[in-house]
Amino acid sequence: MDLFNFQTPRSIPELIAAKNSANAWLLAGGTDLIPQLKEDRRKAETIIDVKKIAAMTNISAEQDGGLNIGAAVTATTIAQSEIVCASYPALAYSVALIGSRQVQNRASLGGNVCNAAPSADAVPALMSYGALANIEGTKGKRSLMVEEIFTGPGRTVLEQDEVLASITLPALPENTAAVYQRFTPRREMDIAVAGVSSRITLDANSKIVDAKIALASVGPTPLRAKAAEMTLIGEVPSLKLFEAAGAAAASDASPIDDTRGSADYRRHLVSVLCRRTLASATKELIQGDLP
Ligand SMILES: Cc1cc2nc3c(=O)[nH]c(=O)nc-3n(C[C@H](O)[C@H](O)[C@H](O)COP(=O)(O)OP(=O)(O)OC[C@H]3O[C@@H](n4cnc5c(N)ncnc54)[C@H](O)[C@@H]3O)c2cc1C
């Protein structure tokens, strides 16, 4: 690792000014960045610590019932937040899967998004909740759906002068539930071979009126399973329906073969996890066994 300048801005404008130079990288928890620097996968002239910026380390309720989570808020803080656990439990669950307790005490939500790993555990839950990424730069502010951030493995749409300031989770309609599950050979300290987050909203007749399904580790970026979503809309939950959605999700995936699993195996995992997450989400909304 080469020598670098180290800066600790106290506000987002100071942060943007510091980031707007070649080879300047933000450091939140450093659980992705530090290994990348040590292994010479990143070159840094300037490292900028974001953890001293109050606006990026807070969780705050929005007036419309949504929630704003600063990009530098840690996985531990999110997993222990009463409001996240009550309103966005799939997110609380997914961040508690990241690495170990020690890693979660450092790892930030913004780092999980901006590192742009296809396997990032918090991202599918954010996508299925319809979360927005709030970006700030020298030209002003812009907000994108979280899934619009990614352009490839380790790559995002963020310009050199831009930072992810926060994530906004929208207020959810009544009768909505979401569940994230991943498959790893080991129970802990492992990366998802495949992950699925499914969120459904039911109407008063228990028909599915909205569905968002997001997939991890089965493409160059985290993906929405749009064909699977379409199979659900207007239908009443049933095991047969969720099997059909799982099959559609497997065709939405575009996995590769690698040391952790073949493309075929990953497609199979997606179909199983999709069915299971839909069934678990439904269980939270309606009593009794699925037909
Ligand atoms: C042992 C170990 C186990 C792990 N297990 C998992 C796992 O199970 N699941 C999982 O998803 N991940 C896992 N990870 C990866 C990592 O912990 C997570 O991705 C974590 O959320 C990264 O957050 P961070 O704050 O440490 O990011 P950092 O390392 O600080 O930053 C990551 C990248 O994002 C950029 N960045 C950070 N914040 C911003 C911002 N606000 N705006 C713009 N760019 C920003 C940085 O410049 C850097 O390029 C593991 C890592 C380790 C070391």
Task: Tell me the pLDDT tens digit for each residue of 213-245.
Answer: 999 999 999 999 999 999 999 999 999 999 999
Helix (H, G, I), strand (E, B) or coil at 94: helix
In which order are the strands placed within the sheet that holds 59-61?
59-61, 67-70, 163-169, 132-137, 140-145
Helix (H, G, I), strand (E, B) or coil at 273: helix
Q: Report CA(208)–ligand 1 centroid distance (Å).
A: 35
- Residue 2 pLDDT class (50, 70, 90 cuts): confident
Three-class HEC string of 206-240: CCEEEEEEEEECCCCCCEECHHHHHHHCCCCCCHH
pLDDT greater than 80 at residue 36 = yes
Nearest to 138 by CA among 158, 156, 108: 158
Please report the pLDDT score of residue 189 as a whole number. 81
Please report the pLDDT score of residue 107 as a whole number. 98
Q: Report CA(253)–ligand 1 centroid distance (Å).
A: 24
- Residue 63 pLDDT class (50, 70, 90 cuts): very high
Task: Tell me the pLDDT tens digit for each residue of 74-117.
Answer: 999 999 999 999 999 999 999 999 999 999 999 999 999 999 99
Q: Report CA(227)–ligand 1 centroid distance (Å).
A: 30
**pTM (2 decimals)?**
0.97
Beta bridge partners of 18: none
Please report the pLDDT score of residue 100 as a whole number. 95
Please report the pLDDT score of residue 30 as a whole number. 98
Are the C-beta atoms of 32 and 153 separated by less than 8 Å?
no
Regarding the beta carbon of 31 and ligand 1, being less than 6 Å apart is answered: yes
- Residue 186 pLDDT class (50, 70, 90 cuts): confident
**Looking at ligand 1, which atom is closest to the CA of residue 108?**
25
pLDDT greater than 80 at residue 1 = no
Alpha-carbon distance 232 to 243, whole Å?
11
Regarding the beta carbon of 32 and ligand 1, being less than 6 Å apart is answered: yes
Report all structural domains of the chain as residue ranges with CATH numbers, in order of start. Answer: 56-169 (3.30.465.10), 176-285 (3.30.390.50)
Terminal CA-to-CA distance of the chain, rounded, Å?
Answer: 58
**Looking at ligand 1, which atom is closest to the CA of residue 31?**
26
- Residue 275 pLDDT class (50, 70, 90 cuts): very high
- Residue 287 pLDDT class (50, 70, 90 cuts): confident
- Residue 290 pLDDT class (50, 70, 90 cuts): confident
pLDDT > 70: percent of the chain: 100
